[in-house]
């Protein structure tokens, strides 16, 4: 049970606990799932709906049912011979609030705290106000405003004998060294704290003193003294505010408005989220402390594998993965005997965004990624490349924005770096400045010049990050770094080129030795119009300093890429929103069949057990929304005309903002994206006469719209919301789908959605079957076995009606193969049947899919470009996968079923492997048994009942 046959992702929270999941295990088993795949199970911030804001690595989240609930869940899984994969979050923890004991420890004791080195804090900030302190950017308004408003309060915890500062739900512990000054009115209470320092040796004494204080404070006199002390620090009076302010200024934290974080935060965050603090898991003691629970649960047999979240945020992803692999394999021998006969090493995948052509590094010792790369591949395959240019032109003409996604991405990168991650850029520049100052040849490199150079390298970086080994870039790293280097050189002034070249060396260039680097030719210096001495490698800049700078650089390129591309540019560019997805490049419109075969073959060779996903908890649009929008690529001119007509039709409903007719809401780009979204997510069974259903859909789309507008950061943002504009956009949305529009837009919208719904459904069947049969481990996101017309979170994390799915699965088993339910395709049961049948074959012929080779099959005939076919082969066994693609031109205009009429295929045929030329084949998707003419299998026979086929020999059936 080590390597999953298939997984099902579950989003656990207090509304869907371990016991709730356990109640559905028999359904998961009947569906064909081998492993549940759970969101993080460690204790998260109270009320968390996702679990990625861990506050305690040492306990199973009590809101999920705690460890006992986990044991009950696993017991149910084992009863059905199933396993459990868990999501592990090593990169960051939830900070702020009052629940993270490790974080509170450093707020209380500063750099001498037990956990001071657990978080990635720069204790040597150049800002005197932050030297030795942690910026605490958790105030909702400016510090002075909140202080004068009495919202920052000194409080006493009598059960702990502890003074804290409270700000709503946030708690900031006061250092015990300051207790004597706090208790000036009651020196008898503070005397035990006199003489304490922040040194580790004194911290146990402080704990004893707090216990004594708690005892004294429980007396009548003690209570009065504590009350007087708190009153003396109350913001109700000028004297109290001043005392409280002076007390705060002496602490190891500096309270600040949340908006200061982008410019001044002195600790690593998860992207630009200031409630998630970076963890230094590269330190052995932090690695062990943060993984102790997971290791124990694994050794006891409660979990079977791990999914590592955001591996690119770590200082050393390679070293982390290798260390984790070693520990898991060591612990595997401690597992219960019944769980030690697995079919391979412990399952271990990483969340990693890969650019086209970028390989997952083989020396990480992982089983692959969590499947964003496959989602990108199969998503691009659904698009007709002939629609790329006309749709880009239509988008540009309609909105006035660039037709090229790369232009939007570049602008977004500059914006994110300047406005959201400025403090992080400063930190990289300071690390390089320290190196520069250590040598006479580079001591005149200014901080500002280094910041300019590094900033441009980050802006131009084509992938998430690089992974130097022993502080030197690999050949693979060099391929991407050189692109950024040349891009930066083209933008920077000539005077900065010498700095750029030296920075490139410090960030992993191959150096001759620790003492010197070959001199640069004088003619090169003259060419650049500058005389300079031959540069030397910095003698004092040892490997540790370079590695530190490289780490900081990589921990900056990664969030810039994520925030700029996924969270900004993807909400600005709208050629087709089906390509604006996590892990995808919207600039890459389509993927050919041959290219798809190449990616599958490479995965089969290098990472045969990687996850295959088409929906996740992070997707921006459900898999079936994307599949339907992709169908627009087949009718680009018709869609462009429709967009123009709808915009004209709804012009009277536009809202003006600030009494400026030119400044209307939502604006051309946001309006065009709104129409795509409505077309993509309109439920197949929703009638425009259903007022309640239309309103419910509009509420969901309004949630997406608000997030999309703020993420785009054009006319509003999370940082500075423009509520007038946002409300105007919402009003526009609800107006265009109001009941009175039934003779206008509200009639045309569902008609057009129906116009492309059949092509969209065929796309969905295609991507579903390819996910379930390609090399790798297919992952099913909760609930997506029926149509998935969800939008971005939180919409994609809505409760799942498992009972309906359970009942329909049971009914479907009685009705036979998926083709028997195609006539009623709109309710989604045919998709459920497809998933069940394909997973059943994976179970029945496990080795064929787990170890079988991948063989692309040739397609011939007049519509060869509208079919994809391949075989999975092991020994003498074969499974043949055939799917319709780009079907819209072949569909009957008056048809009602997502199926190409057999006659339309003409002489289109799949060329079978030699071994199958004379063998009888049976279809797991229908009742068909198509016969080949020699090696030619006619598509009109094979896809007569379903738009996809999964063929095997009778013995496999």
DSSP string computed for 458-501? HHH--SS----BTTB--HHHHHHHHHHHHHHHHHS-GGGHHHHH
8 Å CB contact between 830 and 811: no
Q: For position 542, what pLDDT does the model report?
A: 66
| DSSP sequence for 22-46 | HTTHHHHHHHT-SEEEESP-EEEST
8 Å CB contact between 506 and 546: yes
8 Å CB contact between 775 and 704: no
Beta bridge partners of 164: 155, 173
- Comparing CA positions, the residue from 946, 950, 953, 947 lying closest to residue 923 is 950
| C-alpha to C-alpha distances, 791 to 601, 615, 626, 700, nearest whole angstrom | 32, 11, 10, 8
| CB proximity list for 173: less than 8 A, separation 6 or greater | 104, 107, 108, 162, 163, 164, 165
Structural domain includes residue 793:
no
Largest CA distance in the chain: 100
Counting beta carbons within 10 angstroms of the beta carbon of residue 490, is it exposed (0 to 12), middle (13 to 18) or buried (19 or more)? Answer: exposed
**Claim to verify: residue 824 and residue 945 sit in the same structural domain:** yes
Structural domain includes residue 394:
no
- Comparing CA positions, the residue from 522, 518, 628 lying closest to residue 887 is 628
**Claim to verify: residue 618 and residue 678 sit in the same structural domain:** yes
User: Hey, is 853 helix, strand or coil?
Assistant: strand
Asked which of 270, 298, 317 is the last residue of a domain, the reply is: 270
| CB proximity list for 79: less than 8 A, separation 6 or greater | 25
Q: State how many domains the chain has.
A: 5
**Claim to verify: residue 480 and residue 558 sit in the same structural domain:** yes
Query: Six-digit token pair at 53?
Result: 């804001």
Query: Six-digit token pair at 866?
Result: 């509208």
Asked which of 570, 594, 624 is the last residue of a domain, the reply is: 570
**Claim to verify: residue 530 and residue 421 sit in the same structural domain:** yes
| Angle of CA points 462, 463, 465, to nearest 5° | 125
8 Å CB contact between 872 and 838: no
| C-alpha to C-alpha distances, 932 to 316, 911, 941, nearest whole angstrom | 54, 9, 9
Q: How far apart are the first and last CA of the chain?
A: 24
**Claim to verify: residue 449 and residue 525 sit in the same structural domain:** yes
Phi, psi of 869 (to 5 degrees): -145, 140
Phi, psi of 254 (to 5 degrees): -125, 110
**Claim to verify: residue 685 and residue 831 sit in the same structural domain:** no
The tally of CA atoms less than 13 A away on the side-chain side of residue 404 is 4
Structural domain includes residue 769:
no
**Claim to verify: residue 674 and residue 738 sit in the same structural domain:** yes
**Claim to verify: residue 888 and residue 818 sit in the same structural domain:** yes
Structural domain includes residue 397:
no
| CB proximity list for 21: less than 8 A, separation 6 or greater | 10, 12, 36, 38, 73
Structural domain includes residue 551:
yes
**Claim to verify: residue 131 and residue 236 sit in the same structural domain:** yes
Q: For position 511, what pLDDT does the model report?
A: 65
Q: In what order do the strands lie in the sheet with 867-874?
A: 853-856, 867-874, 877-884, 948-953, 921-923
8 Å CB contact between 331 and 298: yes
Structural domain includes residue 435:
yes
CATH of the domain at 187: 3.30.1590.10
Interatomic CA distance for residues 470 and 734, integer angstroms: 58
CATH of the domain at 315: 3.20.20.80
Asked which of 270, 292, 325 is the last residue of a domain, the reply is: 270
Beta bridge partners of 868: 883
Beta bridge partners of 880: 871, 951
- Comparing CA positions, the residue from 793, 680, 675 lying closest to residue 737 is 675
Q: For position 933, what pLDDT does the model report?
A: 87
Q: What are the average pLDDT values for consecutive 10-residue runs of the chain, which has 957 residues? A: 90 98 98 98 97 98 98 98 98 96 98 97 94 97 97 96 96 97 89 94 95 94 94 95 97 98 97 97 98 98 97 97 97 90 83 96 97 98 98 97 97 97 97 94 96 98 95 95 98 97 94 42 39 36 83 97 96 98 97 98 97 97 98 98 97 87 90 98 96 97 98 96 96 97 96 98 98 98 98 96 96 88 96 98 94 97 98 95 98 95 97 87 93 92 97 75
Interatomic CA distance for residues 136 and 120, integer angstroms: 14
**Claim to verify: residue 746 and residue 812 sit in the same structural domain:** no
Query: Six-digit token pair at 354?
Result: 């890969």
The length of the chain in residues reads 957
What's the per-residue H, E or C state across 224-284? HHHHHHHHHCCCCCHHHHHHHHHHHHCCCEEEEEHHHHHHHCCECEECCEEEEEEECCCCH
**Claim to verify: residue 827 and residue 883 sit in the same structural domain:** yes
8 Å CB contact between 5 and 777: yes
Structural domain includes residue 902:
yes
8 Å CB contact between 431 and 437: no
**Claim to verify: residue 426 and residue 343 sit in the same structural domain:** no
8 Å CB contact between 354 and 360: yes
Q: Which string of b and e fits 559-580 if b means at least 16 CB within 10 Å?
A: bbbbbbbbbbbbbbbbbbbbbb
Q: For position 2, what pLDDT does the model report?
A: 76
8 Å CB contact between 654 and 404: no
Q: For position 955, what pLDDT does the model report?
A: 63
Tell me the residue range of the domain where 470 lies: 402-570
Tokens 């001043």 locate to 242
Structural domain includes residue 765:
no
CA 749 remoteness from chain centre: 31
8 Å CB contact between 379 and 630: yes
């Amino acid at each position: 049970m080590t390597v999953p046959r298939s997984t099902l992702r579950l989003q656990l929270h207090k509304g869907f606990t371990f016991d709730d999941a356990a109640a559905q295990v028999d359904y998961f088993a009947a569906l064909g799932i081998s492993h549940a795949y759970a969101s993080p199970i460690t204790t998260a911030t109270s009320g968390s709906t996702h679990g990625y804001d861990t506050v305690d690595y040492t306990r199973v989240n009590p809101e999920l049912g705690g460890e006992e609930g986990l044991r009950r869940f696993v017991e149910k899984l084992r009863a059905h011979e199933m396993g459990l994969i868990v999501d592990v979050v090593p990169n960051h923890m939830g900070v702020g609030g009052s629940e993270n004991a490790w974080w509170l420890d450093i707020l209380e004791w500063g750099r001498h705290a037990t956990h001071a080195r657990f978080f990635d804090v720069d204790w040597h900030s150049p800002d005197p106000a932050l030297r030795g302190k942690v910026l605490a950017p958790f105030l909702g308004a400016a510090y002075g405003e909140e202080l004068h408003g009495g919202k920052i309060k000194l409080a006493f915890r009598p059960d702990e004998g502890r003074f804290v500062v409270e700000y709503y739900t946030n708690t900031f512990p006061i250092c015990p060294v300051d207790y004597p000054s706090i208790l000036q009115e009651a020196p008898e209470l503070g005397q035990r704290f006199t003489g304490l320092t922040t040194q580790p040796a004194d911290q146990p004494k402080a704990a004893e003193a707090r216990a004594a204080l708690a005892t004294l404070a429980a007396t009548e006199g003690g209570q009065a003294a504590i009350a007087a002390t708190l009153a003396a620090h109350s913001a109700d009076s000028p004297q109290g505010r001043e005392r409280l302010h002076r007390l705060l200024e002496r602490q190891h934290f500096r309270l600040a408005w949340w908006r200061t974080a982008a410019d001044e935060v002195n600790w690593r965050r998860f992207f630009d989220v200031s409630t998630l603090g970076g963890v230094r898991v590269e330190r052995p003691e932090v690695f062990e402390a943060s993984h102790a629970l997971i290791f124990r649960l694994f050794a006891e047999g409660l979990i079977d594998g791990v999914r590592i979240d955001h591996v690119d945020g770590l200082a050393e992803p390679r070293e982390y993965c290798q260390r984790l692999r070693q520990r898991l394999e060591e612990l595997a021998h401690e597992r219960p005997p019944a769980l030690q006969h697995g079919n391979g090493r412990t399952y271990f995948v990483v969340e990693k965004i890969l650019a086209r052509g970028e390989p997952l590094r083989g020396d990480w010792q992982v089983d692959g990624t969590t499947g964003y790369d496959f989602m990108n591949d199969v998503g691009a395959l659904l698009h007709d490349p002939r629609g790329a240019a006309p749709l880009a032109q239509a988008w540009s003409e309609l909105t006035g924005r660039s037709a090229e996604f790369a232009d939007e991405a570049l602008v977004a990168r500059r914006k994110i770096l300047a406005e959201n991650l400025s403090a992080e850029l400063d930190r990289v520049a300071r690390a390089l400045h320290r190196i520069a100052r250590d040598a006479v040849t580079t001591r005149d490199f200014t901080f500002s010049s280094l910041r300019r150079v590094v900033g441009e390298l980050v802006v131009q970086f084509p992938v998430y990050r690089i992974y130097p080994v022993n502080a030197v870039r690999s050949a693979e790293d060099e391929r991407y770094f050189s692109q950024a280097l040349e891009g930066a050189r083209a933008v920077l002034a000539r005077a900065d080129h010498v700095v750029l070249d030296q920075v490139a060396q410090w960030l992993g260039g191959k150096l001759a030795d620790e003492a010197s680097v070959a001199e640069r030719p004088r003619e090169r210096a003259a060419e650049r119009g500058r005389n300079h001495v031959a540069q030397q490698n910095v003698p004092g800049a040892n490997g540790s300093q370079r590695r530190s700078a490289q780490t900081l650089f990589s921990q900056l390129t990664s969030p810039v890429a994520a925030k700029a591309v996924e969270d900004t540019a993807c909400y600005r560019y709208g050629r087709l929103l089906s390509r604006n997805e996590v892990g995808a490049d919207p600039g890459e419109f389509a993927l050919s069949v041959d290219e798809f075969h190449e990616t599958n073959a490479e995965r089969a060779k290098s990472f045969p057990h990687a996850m295959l996903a088409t929906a996740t908890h992070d997707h921006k649009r459900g898999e079936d929304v994307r599949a339907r929008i992709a169908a627009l690529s087949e009718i680009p001119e018709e869609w462009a005309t429709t967009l123009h007509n709808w915009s004209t039709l709804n012009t009277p409903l536009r809202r003006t903002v600030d009494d400026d007719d030119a400044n209307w809401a939502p604006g051309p780009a946001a309006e065009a994206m709104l129409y795509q979204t409505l077309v993509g997510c309109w439920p197949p069974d929703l009638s425009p006469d259903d007022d309640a259903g239309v309103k419910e859909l509009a509420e969901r789309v309004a949630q997406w719209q608000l997030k999309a507008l703020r993420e785009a950061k054009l006319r509003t943002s999370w940082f500075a919301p423009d509520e007038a504009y946002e409300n105007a956009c919402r009003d526009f949305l609800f107006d265009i789908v109001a009941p009175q529009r039934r003779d206008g837009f509200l009639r045309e919208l569902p008609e057009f959605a129906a116009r492309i719904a059949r092509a969209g459904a065929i796309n969905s069947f295609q991507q579903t079957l390819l996910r379930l049969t390609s090399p790798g481990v297919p992952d099913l996101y909760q609930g997506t076995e029926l149509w998935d017309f969800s939008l971005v979170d939180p919409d994609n994390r809505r409760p799942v009606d498992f009972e309906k799915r359970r009942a329909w699965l049971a009914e479907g088993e009685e009705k036979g193969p998926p083709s028997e339910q195609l006539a009623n395709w709109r309710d989604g049961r045919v998709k459920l049947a497809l998933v069940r049948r394909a997973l059943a074959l994976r179970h029945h012929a496990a080795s064929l899919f787990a170890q079988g080779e991948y063989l692309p099959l040739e397609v011939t005939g007049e519509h060869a470009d509208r079919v994809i076919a391949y075989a999975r082969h092991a020994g003498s066994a074969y499974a043949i996968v055939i799917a319709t693609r780009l079907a819209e031109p072949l569909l009957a205009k008056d048809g009602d079923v997502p199926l190409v009429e057999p006659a339309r295929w003409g002489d289109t045929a799949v060329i079978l492997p030699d071994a199958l030329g004379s063998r009888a084949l049976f279809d797991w998707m229908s009742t068909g048994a198509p016969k080949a003419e020699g090696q030619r299998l006619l598509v009109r026979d094979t896809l007569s009942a379903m738009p996809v086929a999964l063929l095997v020999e009778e013995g496999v059936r």
